[in-house]
Amino acid sequence: MMQSFTHEILRDYEEKRNRARRQREDRLQEVYDKVPKIREIDEKLQKTGLTISRMLIQGVDDPEKAIENLEQKLDRLKQERAILLTENNIPLQYLEYDFSCVNCNDTGFLPNGQKCGCFKQQLITKGYSMSNLSNILEKENFQSFNLDIFSDEPFDGQPLTPKQNMMNILNVCEGFVFNFDENSKDNLLFYGETGTGKTFLANCIAKSLLDREKIVIYQTAFKLLEILEEIRFKNSDNREKYNLLFETDLLIIDDLGTEMTNTFTNSELFNIINSRLLSGKKTIISTNLSPKEIMDRYDDRIFSRLFSKFTALHFFGRDLRWERII
Ligand SMILES: [Zn+2]
């Protein structure tokens, strides 16, 4: 399955590069029509470049001197070209390729031959069916977060009002994003009733980190365990997809407790959480379960990791799903 994703992604890259090339051709043509002198310079540049290559291959009497002369000529031409562009109000970058990823120029690979982050993120997006995530993240992000929908009245005997509580949570989440690159061993556990903003906050964090070109996997526990089962029992060919769970910069497991719980899920879950802790990779888990329910439902080893290595944030307040704002 991963194999076909890879093919699909590589094909997308090729299309992107072709598009970037065509668009640059169009812009170049436009510039040539406007300032014909630039075409002449480009032709001279090309010829001079060719002469240098030919000299390097065929050899001349004093190659260093000859090449130095030609390089000076190249510099003069480039300068002349830059001046012409400026005089005609054409920004220098207008004639550059407009690749969507500046790290790999839409090839998917870095100069050292490793997969670019954008490649990994696409494998994740396809492999973990996250393709609708970007639509959600357009709406659910720190910019669209509205504290005012949380009540400032006491709630259910809690020492803070839902609004005060949410202000604290928001601070922790923004700090999490801000310090993401530091080896701070930050992990977050969101717990509390449905409709109190847990998924929204997780989305805010995902969006900020994706914007910073971090690699993020976002999946519900239910779906995640389904995928793990599939990898384990049906398809041995999915190593890469499996490994991404350990390698991704951030793993968000939403709705812990909605998955089937058995020995297999318990040990897989522990393995993922614990391996990520050991390698200093960050994880966010959200759940409707109370700490007591988590304790009843999962191994001691999972419970103890969650409550010693994660910052537990309690979400409470009225169910806001019905307000259609969150
Ligand atoms: Zn890239």
In the block, tokens 């002198």 appear at 37
Same domain, residue pair 236 and 141: yes
Same domain, residue pair 89 and 137: no
For residue 37, how far is its CA from the centre of ligand 1 (angstroms)? 35
Using an 8 Å Cβ cutoff, are 287 and 256 in contact? yes
Q: How confident is the model at residue 217 (pLDDT cuts 50, 70, 90)?
A: very high
In the block, tokens 């590589």 appear at 10
For residue 106, how far is its CA from the centre of ligand 1 (angstroms)? 6
For residue 212, how far is its CA from the centre of ligand 1 (angstroms)? 13
Q: How confident is the model at residue 309 (pLDDT cuts 50, 70, 90)?
A: very high
Same domain, residue pair 296 and 223: yes
Provide the CB-side half-sphere exposure for 74 (13 A, CA): 14
Q: How confident is the model at residue 323 (pLDDT cuts 50, 70, 90)?
A: low
Q: How confident is the model at residue 294 (pLDDT cuts 50, 70, 90)?
A: very high
User: Taking the model in full, what pTM does it have?
Assistant: 0.78
For residue 100, how far is its CA from the centre of ligand 1 (angstroms)? 8
Same domain, residue pair 134 and 90: no
Query: What pLDDT score does 324 carry?
Result: 54
For residue 225, how far is its CA from the centre of ligand 1 (angstroms)? 29
Same domain, residue pair 278 and 144: yes
Q: Residue 113 domain-assigned?
A: no
For residue 124, how far is its CA from the centre of ligand 1 (angstroms)? 14
Q: Residue 224 domain-assigned?
A: yes
Same domain, residue pair 170 and 91: no
For residue 184, how far is its CA from the centre of ligand 1 (angstroms)? 27
Quote the mean pLDDT of the chain. Answer: 90
For residue 111, how far is its CA from the centre of ligand 1 (angstroms)? 11
Chosen domain end from 40, 73, 95: 95
For residue 105, how far is its CA from the centre of ligand 1 (angstroms)? 6
Give the mean pLDDT of 111-127. 89
Q: Residue 282 domain-assigned?
A: yes
Query: What pLDDT score does 236 carry?
Result: 55
The tokens describing 42, both together, are 């480009």
CB-neighbour burial class of residue 13 (10 A; exposed 0-12, middle 13-18, buried 19+):
buried
Q: CB neighbours (10 Å) of residue 138?
A: 10
How many domains is the chain built from? 2
For residue 140, how far is its CA from the centre of ligand 1 (angstroms)? 25
Q: Residue 235 domain-assigned?
A: yes
Chosen domain end from 95, 110, 137: 95
Same domain, residue pair 218 and 293: yes
Same domain, residue pair 132 and 69: no
Q: Residue 106 domain-assigned?
A: no
3 state SS of 298: coil
Of 307, 306, 238, 233, nearest to 272 by C-alpha is 306
* Distance (Å, whole) CA 169 – CA 93: 42
Give the mean pLDDT of 105-118. 94
Each residue's pLDDT tens digit, 123-170: 888 878 777 787 888 888 999 999 999 999 999 999 999 999 999 999
For residue 213, how far is its CA from the centre of ligand 1 (angstroms)? 9
Using an 8 Å Cβ cutoff, are 164 and 152 in contact? yes
Of 208, 180, 187, nearest to 256 by C-alpha is 187
Chosen domain end from 80, 95, 110: 95
Query: What pLDDT score does 237 carry?
Result: 60
Same domain, residue pair 73 and 138: no
Q: Residue 162 domain-assigned?
A: yes
For the cut 80, the answer to whether the pLDDT of residue 310 exceeds it is yes
Reported for 18-25, long-range contacts at CB under 8 A and 24+ positions apart, including other chains, are 20/97, 20/98, 20/99, 20/100, 20/106, 21/97, 23/98, 24/95, 24/96, 24/97, 24/98
Provide the residue type at 61 as one letter.
D
Query: What pLDDT score does 319 carry?
Result: 87
For residue 259, how far is its CA from the centre of ligand 1 (angstroms)? 34
- List 313's β-bridge partners, or say none: 190
For residue 211, how far is its CA from the centre of ligand 1 (angstroms)? 13
Query: What pLDDT score does 234 carry?
Result: 75
Q: Residue 111 domain-assigned?
A: no
* Distance (Å, whole) CA 140 – CA 176: 17
- The dihedral through the CA atoms of 66, 72, 76, 79 has a sign that is positive
Q: Residue 119 domain-assigned?
A: no
* Distance (Å, whole) CA 230 – CA 233: 5
The tokens describing 66, both together, are 């000859």
For the cut 50, the answer to whether the pLDDT of residue 94 exceeds it is yes
Q: How confident is the model at residue 235 (pLDDT cuts 50, 70, 90)?
A: low
CATH value at residue 299: 3.40.50.300
For residue 104, how far is its CA from the centre of ligand 1 (angstroms)? 4
Query: What pLDDT score does 104 carry?
Result: 95
Greatest Cα-to-Cα distance within the chain, rounded to the nearest angstrom: 92
For residue 89, how far is its CA from the centre of ligand 1 (angstroms)? 31
Boundaries of domain holding 201: 128-323
Same domain, residue pair 48 and 155: no
For residue 101, how far is its CA from the centre of ligand 1 (angstroms)? 5
Q: How confident is the model at residue 326 (pLDDT cuts 50, 70, 90)?
A: very low
- List 188's β-bridge partners, or say none: 284, 311
Same domain, residue pair 141 and 86: no
For residue 209, how far is its CA from the centre of ligand 1 (angstroms)? 16
For residue 13, how far is its CA from the centre of ligand 1 (angstroms)? 9
